Structure 1
Amino acid sequence: MGKLKIDVVIVPLSGHLYPTMNLLMPLLKNPRYDIRLFTGQQKRAVAEAAGFKVVTILEGHEADFERVANNKEQLGLFSAYRQLSASLDIINLVSDQLLSEWEVNRPDLVIADFITLSGGLVAEQMGIPWITTMATQFAIETTGGPPCFFGGMGSPKNRNQLIQQWLGRKMTRFLKYSATFLLRNRLKRYGFKMYNHKGQESIYSPYSILGIGMKELEIKKGFPEHYHWVGPSGASAERGEDYPLDLSSFANHKKVLVTCGTQLDWAKDNLIYQTKLLAKSHPECQFFVTLGLGGQAFQCQKLMDNVSVVSYLPYKEYIPQMDYVIHHGGAGIFYQCIIHSKLALILPHDYDQYDYAIRGLEAGVALTAKREEDKAIGKAFETLLAKKDWSELKALSHAAKSYHPTEVVEGEIARLLADKEKKQ
């Protein structure tokens, strides 16, 4: 029997690429698999350094992609629609490349990130089994619990909140139907329908979905039967030695990592401003603000005696060396804090970050505050420093390490290919 050809399709965004890369890296050592990674030139070097064979997508359109991916302000309803509309041009470019490639070199299986729609759409058109990897574990619609992207709804506490969440789920479906209708001419090539015969979203695989996160933290209910939890795997893929920050001279300080990830350029000035305010009140703490500029030469600038701004720090290498973390609520940093048992203050900005913030708060592993409210941030940080009992964090840190992602992935690959053989 020849090697199983698996093509992986992911946009070149760290928060989407790295979780799936980390999930699949153990498979690179298995001679049974021939894995190719389709992603942008921006991430080619880091992916190849991790051992992947890379096929670049969107060559010559890198600036177009960056313009669509990196919004200049927090998204609202209409700006989100404009972003989606612009994304369709990118999706169709990638789809054209995949169709051309797979007609000549057809894979046995496709794995696609949950926002990299081209991979699944083209695989479905060509009758290739495919798996969705979901770095935002709760992005999918479910039959119960709080809908996401509504500012961080938590577990319902009363009948009114149950009704509110039911309405939110209905509103989510209405907005998706509306967007699909408005974009119907540009989606016609795929024969696209927003929901399949089971009432489930067709942008995700109807065969297998891998939730890159922890079931123990989830407050949604009613996930599809083919949704499988694989645990967190969102660590950065860059090498720590390429970003040399010497922390040895700060042994007598409480070290605080501050970040808003790699996409929120519009938020970084406020992040630095809030850090300066905290630094003035807490000379015993040393703050390190990372700007999320991976792939560039490492730079470190001293803003105050106890505030340094660095171009980039790989979370996996540096979070274990920190005492506290202030972050935006991205999936990667959220779970790295849990894995390494680091206390966190979450200042959500956009996207799914409000939903991660409420999950962290309810689970007892983080505090949260509004990103521009100086007094609230200061008070929350004081509470963070004073809190002694973080038993929930320790328990979830232990649980995070109990998952067996490689077994789940290989099991799903085998199941889908076996199902395909039965149908032939």
Structure 2
Amino acid sequence: MSCKKIFLIAPPFSGHLHPLLGIGMRLREIADVTVLSTPGAAASCELPFQSILAQHEKAVWAIAEPGKEVKSNPLLLYRQLKANIALMGDLTAELDARFAAEQPDLVIADFTVPVAGISALQHGIPWWTTLASPCVFEAPDGPPAYFGGQLPAQTTWQRVRHAVLRQATHAFKRAMGLLFRRELSAIGFPGIYRADRSEAVYSPQRILALGIPEIEFPRSYPAHFEFVGSVLHTPHDDSPAPEFADDGRPHVLITLGTHLPHAKAALAETMRGIAARQAGIVFHFTHGRVMEGPLRHEGNFHEHDHVSYARHLPRYAAVIHHAGAGILNHCLRHGIPSVVIPQDYDQFDNAARLVAFGLALRAKGNADIEETLLRVLGDAEMKARCVAMSTVHARQDGAEAVMRLVAAL
């Protein structure tokens, strides 16, 4: 069949939305593409756009930014899931109406919007899932995710511990499924796991892992799980370019992405102190979105609302970041070494992979950043590994791979 109409569905958060926008920009060469997200996402979208959950945008952001670290805290995870499920009934009703009216040929949805896929299947529409952080996928072996960045097991004790942690994850998800069984049933969700033990939040037809296997630990995946490569899409913006000194000093970018507002103020204060002691380095701190308060430019420390990774990242000697999937892949593509300081969610697992493959060093906390950064800047072997990995990374274009898969339908 020829795929003529495709819906792309994602939350408004850049790490989830931007890869789908990049896929959509490529797919529009062969298909009629429409993006569905909350109204705030429209500003960054250059494709036909339809808003969803228009009355709940603040609630959507509140789920992603609870104001404190969630990590693997079961109570905070429960609260997030409860808030999420509260919105799913409205979203399911909206999507059912749109699918019935427009009947797309394919729905590609971010893994955080599984009800989009469930609704699509009920309308007889194929559903594919995008997954920007392959490390969070629940596999039957290998290091489990969300436990502080587990490394591959080397001893019997480590293998036993990993098995226990995997079972704990499985049990927690099943418990949440039982606790919310009425709500999930009301929106047509079949339960946390299907009969074949696969997770219902992922498509049973195709899971598009937007990353490269060369930085993943050995694990087993189902046949419909495919590494297609990352999608480094950055929407056009008019933010002013940062100033780069031409006096030979290295420039360092500091970013915690678009989330984590509770952590940014403390990190900015730490970096001001480091900049005062390290006059031979120029520091650019980006808040990831427009700030309400004033920005400060003091000597070699510059604050910015936003620094475009696509336009400016190649000019940095190193990046201090939270190991989010977006900045992680941009650094890999440009061969830039990193200091990683994970804060929450999948970031600890991403950081573990970067460090294990010699592409970054992890700071144990803000107090450890300065020493770690100096080590990274002075490590020529790490820089060489990053440059070599950039060649591997550039060979795997996620948007191009998805276009080929769609064309083959």
8 Å contact 1:208–1:412 — kept in the other structure? no
Please tell me whether the aligned partners of residues 254 and 284 of structure 1 are also in contact (alpha carbons under 8 angstroms). yes
For the pair 1:247 / 2:243, whether they are aligned, the reply is yes
Q: Aligned AA for 2:121?
A: E
SS of the residue 1:289 aligns to: strand
Distance 1:298 1:22 in 2: 31
Contact 2:107 2:126 in 1 (8 A): yes
Pick the aligned partner of 1:238 from 229, 233, 236.
Answer: 236
Residue in 1 that maps onto 2:379: 387
The residue type equivalent to 1:347 in the other structure is: I
Q: 1:178-229: per-residue Cα shift (whole Å, max 9, x none)?
A: 1111111110121422112221111100000100011001114001111111
1:353 and 2:330 equivalent? no
Change (3 A) 1:332 1:191: closer
Give the residue type in structure 2 aligned to 1:236: T
Identify the residue that residue 202 of structure 2 maps to in structure 1.
204
Structure-1 residue corresponding to 2:391: 398
Post-superposition offset of 1:410: 3.4
Question: Could you tell me which residue of structure 2 aligns to residue 86 of structure 1?
Answer: 83
Look up the match of 2:262: 266
Counterpart position of 2:111: 114
Partner of 1:7: 7
* TM-score of the superposed pair, with normalisation by structure 1: 0.91
Query: 2:398 & 2:264 partners in 1: Cα distance?
Result: 34
Q: In the comparison of the two structures, how many residue pairs are matched?
A: 405
Match of 1:55 among 29, 50, 53: 50
The offset of 1:127, in angstroms, is 2.4
**1:421 equivalent in structure 2:** none
CA contact (8 A) 1:244 1:298 kept: no
- CA distance in structure 2 between the partners assigned to 1:2 and 1:215 by the alignment: 30
| Contact kept in structure 2, 1:176 and 1:194, CA below 8 Å | yes
Match of 1:24 in 2: 24
Q: How does the TM-score come out when normalised to structure 2?
A: 0.94
- Identify which of 113, 136, 139 aligns with 2:136: 139
Higher RCO (Cα < 8 Å, 6 or more apart): 2
SS of the equivalent of 1:60 reads helix
Pair 319,219 (structure 1): closer, same or farther in 2 beyond 3 Å: same
Give the one of 53, 57, 67 matched to 1:72.
Answer: 67
CA contact (8 A) 2:242 2:307 kept: no
- Tell me how far apart the structure 2 counterparts of residues 408 and 298 of structure 1 sit (CA, whole Å): 42
Aligned partners of 2:271 and 2:161: how far apart in 1? 36
Q: 1:10 to 1:286 in 2, by over 3 A?
A: same
Partner of 1:206, secondary structure, is coil
Give 1:37 shift.
0.7
User: Aligned to 2:381, what secondary structure does the other structure show?
Assistant: coil
1:335 partner amino acid: N
> In structure 2, what is the Cα distance between the partners aligned to 1:14 and 1:246?
21
The answer to which of 310-319 and 402-411 deviates more is 402-411
Contact 1:109–1:130 at 8 Å: present in 2 too? yes
| Aligned partner of residue 73 in structure 1, secondary structure | coil
CA shift, 1:404, in A, is 4.3
Q: CA 1:350–1:169 in structure 2 vs 1: closer, same or farther (change >3 Å)?
A: same
Provide the secondary structure at the position in 1 that maps to 2:148.
coil
Distance in 1 between residues matched to 2:326 and 2:189, nearest whole Å: 34
Runs of at least 4 residues of structure 1 off by over 6 A?
A: 296-299
> Aligned pair 1:159/2:156, yes or no?
yes
Please identify, of 256-265 and 316-325, the stretch whose mean Cα deviation from structure 2 is larger.
Answer: 316-325
Distance 2:157 2:230 in 1: 33
Are the equivalent residues in 1 in contact too, given 2:38–2:51 (CA < 8 A)? Answer: yes
User: Does the C-alpha gap of structure 1 residues 299 and 8 become closer, same or farther in structure 2, counting only changes over 3 Å?
Assistant: farther
Deviates more, 1:184-193 or 1:253-262: 184-193
1:3 CA displacement: 5.9
* 1:8 partner SS: strand
275, 278, 283: which is aligned to 2:274?
278
Contact 2:255–2:285 (8 Å) recurs in 1: yes
| Inter-partner Cα distance in structure 2 for 1:246 and 1:73 | 30
Identity %: 30
Which amino acid in the other structure matches residue 133 of structure 1?
A: T
Q: Which residue of 1 aligns with 2:43?
A: 45
- Cα RMSD after superposing both structures: 1.9
Distance 1:36 1:81 in 2: 32
Distance 2:232 2:249 in 1: 28
Distance 1:90 1:234 in 2: 29
Using the TM superposition, name which of 406-415 and 205-214 deviates more: 406-415
CA shift in 2, pair 1:406/1:263, >3 Å: closer
- Residues of 2 paired with 1:35 and 1:84: CA distance? 30
What residue identity is the alignment partner of 1:393? Answer: C
